[in-house]
Structure 1
Amino acid sequence: MQHLIFVYGTLKQGFRNHPVNQGERVAGEFTTVQPLPLYIVGPRYLPWLVNQPGEGYPVHGELYEVNDEGLARMDELEALHLPDWYVREPVQVREPSGRLWSCQVYFGSASRLQLDAVHAGPLPAYTQEHAEQRVAALRGAGLL
């Protein structure tokens, strides 16, 4: 079975966890239809999209067609089994032409915003600059 997954953080092309994403990229640029809050949180400076429609910005990301095995790898990376972590839920995204796509996305638990430091956000996109800050924080903490 194939699944459409919208990625906005480290699973995007050119980012640290992209090798886990074995899906085929759908051509184009995509943004969430609803504004959503995207933060950078915690000691690992993780991109954290919260399911609070109407807050934040339409979030920019990439769309991938992923098979069951690929989805299982992504679910494992996103630690769906842990409380107060990520969940995979439906979302609608739009390409510049206006075409809408129904897909799934990994939302972070809103409780994390109280449990961990919020370093930035809400943001419209997770960028290479954010990724570099993440690497610097991990190196500084001796985690890389």
Structure 2
Amino acid sequence: MSHLIFVYGTLKQGFRNHHINHGERLPGVFHTVAALPLYVVGPNHLPWLVNAPGQGEPVAGELYRVDDAGLARMDELEQIERPDWYRRQPLQVRGEDGRVWDCEVYFGAASRLQLDPVHLGPLPAYTQAHAALRERALAAG
């Protein structure tokens, strides 16, 4: 079975966890239909999309067609069984051609925003500059 997964952070092409993502990328950039808050949180500067429609703005990302094994790898990375972590939930995204796609996304638990420092956000996209914040924090010790 295949699944459509919207990725907005480290699973995107060119980011540190893309090697986990064995899905087939659909061409183009996609944006969430709903405005949603995307933050950079915690000591690892993780991208954290919260399921709070109407807050933030449409978030940019990539859409992948993923098989069951690939989905299991992503679920493991995103630690969906841990409380206060990520949950895979339905989402609608819009392609560059205006087409709306039904897919799933990993939403971060809103409670994490009280547990970990929020470094940035809400943001319209997680970029390489945001990813570099993690590397700087690790280098600083």
Q: TM-score, normalised by structure 1?
A: 0.96
Aligned to 1:118: 118
Q: Does 1:79 align with 2:94?
A: no
- Where 1:137 maps in the other structure, the secondary structure is helix
Aligned to 1:100: 100
Q: Does 1:53 align with 2:27?
A: no
CA distance in 1, matches of 2:67, 2:113: 31
Amino acid at match of 1:80: I
Aligned to 2:131: 131
- Where 2:135 maps in the other structure, the secondary structure is helix
Q: Deviations over 1:72-105 (max 9, x none)?
A: 0000000001100000000000012110000000
1:107 Cα deviation (Å)? 0.1
Q: Percent of counterpart pairs with the same letter?
A: 69
Aligned to 1:64: 64
Aligned to 1:16: 16
Q: TM-score, normalised by structure 2?
A: 0.98
Across the two proteins, how many residue pairs are aligned to each other?
141
CA distance in 2, matches of 1:135, 1:12: 17
Aligned to 1:7: 7
Q: Deviations over 1:21-56 (max 9, x none)?
A: 000000111000000000000000000000000000
User: What is the root-mean-square deviation in Å for CA atoms of aligned residues?
Assistant: 0.6
- Where 1:28 maps in the other structure, the secondary structure is coil
CA distance in 2, matches of 1:20, 1:140: 27
